């Protein structure tokens, strides 16, 4: 079969489950793509070709295991795997071999997925970058912290890959690499065995070539059939929302959002605008306080025993976390709870908000992974967020939009995102 013609996860799975496509054939195609591009992209922290092929053959020999049977999936190296090194992007954990799979990895295997190596994470899924380059232009960052997963999916190495998001680590790399990224409602996928850096923020997400693909995989992992991204029955009600972070938007994002409401209307949506209440202005700062406070505690052992082996700016973040008072931390959570309650009223009868995913195209250079400024508040609110790739900006790098909605309203947000994905295209001016 021609993999290029049937490259969506949904199509691949149809072939795999019907046994028209063998897991080994698909794995070999992925390995070929990796062999060609990995020297430039550096998406993988660990990959064992022979092991992947052996497992693919085992899948081909046995019965169909589940809805993800034979689907290659990348696992961010912040997630434990019992059969591969797991280094969390940190020299402290060089060669570390966990005893167990992270729960989300075990779920993927139970559903038949072919765990296809570990993808590069920034250090402890924070700001110090890994070696991954943006496959659209390797002089630019792929974003982070799920750098390898986003890049691997973007350049066709893999049809799907795990990410995690504490600030913007799914949506931002999806935006910079031009793939779909889906951060479900907080708590949708279990986090045991993930090296957590914030108990109240960390959320497991998924990258796919399309919204449908990312949603399909999370649907299988969570047993939530409703997450299969079907298009809405009626015209979606979409509100453009510039958010309190709008001053951080770069010209390409300003240009995109200038006529976004009109474009959505022209495409058939019932479009409007929403302004968030003033209380939301403090959410980004609240997010930063909560993350700093919690990461200092989550990485208390590393900070205590190996502080010198933690790179900047993470080391400063850990130090900073110890200076945040419980009172400030509690107030940040209180604001988040208040804004969660207020969000439904702010959204009115809109199905989803259309907001920026990132300030603009992926910045030049691999020394930093860009700014999660447009992601912090949605992560803190625990709401579903989806990046929809729409085209390219003035530098030829990907641009798109983020759709967010109410807690637990993942199916609605995914359906709207899929609708937008199919109808809106942008190109460089």
Taking CB under 8 A as the criterion, the residue among 301, 308, 367, 429 binding a second copy is 301
Select 196 or 355, whichever has its Cβ closest to a second copy.
196
Alpha helices (H) in 2-160, listed in sequence order: 9-17, 23-41, 49-61, 103-110, 147-154
Taking CB under 8 A as the criterion, the residue among 85, 190, 272, 391 binding a second copy is 190
Quick check: is 90 catalytic? no
Q: What residues have CB less than 8 Å from 355, skipping those under 6 apart?
A: 240, 241, 242, 243, 374, 378, 401, 402, 403, 404
Select 275 or 325, whichever has its Cβ closest to a second copy.
325
If DSSP codes are grouped into helix, strand and coil, which group holds residue 80? coil
- Residue 332 C-beta: closest distance to a second copy, Å: 13
CA distance 374 to 355: 8
How do beta strands 72-76 and 160-165 pair? parallel
Residue 82 is a binding residue for a second copy (CB under 8 A)? yes
Residue 298 is a binding residue for a second copy (CB under 8 A)? yes
Taking CB under 8 A as the criterion, the residue among 8, 11, 137, 200 binding a second copy is 200
Catalytic residue (one of 169, 198, 222, 255): 169
Range 259-262 contact pairs with CB under 8 angstroms and sequence separation of 24 or more: 260/354, 260/401
Residue 69 is a binding residue for a second copy (CB under 8 A)? no
Quick check: is 169 catalytic? yes
Q: Hey, which residues between 90 and 149 contact a second copy (CB under 8 A)?
A: 93, 96, 98-103, 105-107, 109-110
- Residue 224 C-beta: closest distance to a second copy, Å: 5
- Structure tokens of 192? 């045991």
Residue 394 is a binding residue for a second copy (CB under 8 A)? no
CA distance 400 to 429: 14
Range 319-323 contact pairs with CB under 8 angstroms and sequence separation of 24 or more: 320/292, 320/296, 321/292, 321/293, 321/294, 321/295, 321/296, 321/297, 322/296
Select 9 or 324, whichever has its Cβ closest to a second copy.
324
The dihedral of CA 389, 391, 394, 396: what is its sign?
Answer: positive
How do beta strands 72-76 and 114-119 pair? parallel
- Residue 362 C-beta: closest distance to a second copy, Å: 31
Catalytic residue (one of 76, 118, 183, 195): 76
Select 23 or 107, whichever has its Cβ closest to a second copy.
107
**DSSP-derived secondary structure for 130-155:** -S---TT-TTB---SSSHHHHHHHHT
Q: How many residues bind a second copy (CB under 8 A)?
A: 40
- Residue 76 C-beta: closest distance to a second copy, Å: 16
- Residue 219 C-beta: closest distance to a second copy, Å: 10
- Residue 291 C-beta: closest distance to a second copy, Å: 13
Buried b / exposed e across 319-333, counting CB within 10 Å, b at 16+? ebbeebeeeebeebe
List active site positions: 76, 145, 169
Which residues sit at the interface with a second copy, rule CB under 8 A?
Answer: 82, 93, 96, 98-103, 105-107, 109-110, 187, 190-193, 195-196, 199-200, 222-224, 294, 297-305, 325-326, 330, 408
């Amino acid at each position: 079969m021609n993999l290029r013609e049937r490259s969506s996860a949904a199509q691949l799975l149809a072939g795999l489950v019907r046994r028209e496509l063998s897991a080994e054939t698909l794995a070999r195609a992925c390995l070929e793509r990796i062999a060609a591009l990995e020297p430039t992209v550096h998406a993988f922290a660990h990959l064992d070709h022979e092991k992947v092929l052996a497992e693919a053959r085992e899948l081909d020999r046995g019965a169909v295991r589940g809805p993800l049977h034979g689907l290659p999936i990348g696992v961010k190296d912040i997630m434990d795997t019992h059969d591969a090194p797991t280094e969390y992007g940190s020299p402290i954990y060089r060669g570390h071999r966990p005893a167990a799979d992270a729960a989300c990895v075990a779920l993927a295997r139970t559903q038949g997925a072919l765990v296809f190596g570990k993808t590069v994470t920034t250090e402890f899924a924070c700001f110090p970058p890994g070696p991954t380059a943006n496959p659209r232009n390797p002089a630019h960052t792929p974003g982070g912290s799920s750098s390898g997963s986003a890049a691997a999916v973007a350049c066709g190495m893999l049809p799907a890959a795990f990410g995690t998001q504490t600030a913007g680590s799914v949506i931002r790399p999806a935006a910079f690499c031009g793939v779909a990224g889906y951060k479900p409602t907080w708590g949708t996928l279990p986090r045991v065995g993930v090296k957590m850096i914030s108990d109240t923020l960390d959320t497991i997400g998924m990258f796919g070539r399309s919204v449908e693909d990312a949603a399909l995989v999370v649907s299988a992992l969570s047993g939530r059939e409703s997450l299969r991204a079907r298009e809405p029955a009626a015209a979606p009600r979409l509100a453009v929302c510039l958010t309190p972070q709008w001053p951080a938007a770069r010209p390409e994002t300003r240009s995109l959002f200038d006529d976004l409401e009109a474009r959505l209307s022209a495409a058939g949506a019932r479009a409007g605008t929403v302004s968030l209440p003033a209380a939301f202005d403090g959410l980004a700062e609240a997010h930063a306080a909560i993350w700093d406070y919690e990461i200092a505690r989550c990485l208390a052992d590393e900070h205590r025993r190996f502080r010198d082996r933690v790179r900047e700016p993470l080391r400063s973040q850990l130090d900073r976390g110890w200076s945040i008072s419980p009172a400030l931390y509690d107030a940040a959570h209180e604001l988040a709870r208040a804004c969660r309650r207020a969000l439904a009223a702010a959204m009115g009868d809109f199905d989803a908000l259309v907001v920026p995913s990132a300030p603009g195209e992926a910045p030049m250079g691999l020394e930093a992974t860009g700014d999660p400024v447009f992601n912090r508040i949605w992560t803190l609110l625990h709401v579903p967020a989806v990046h929809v790739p729409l085209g390219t900006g003035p530098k030829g790098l990907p641009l798109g939009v983020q759709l967010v909605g109410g807690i637990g309203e993942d199916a609605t947000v995914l359906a709207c995102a899929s609708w937008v994905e199919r109808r809106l295209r942008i190109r460089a001016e």
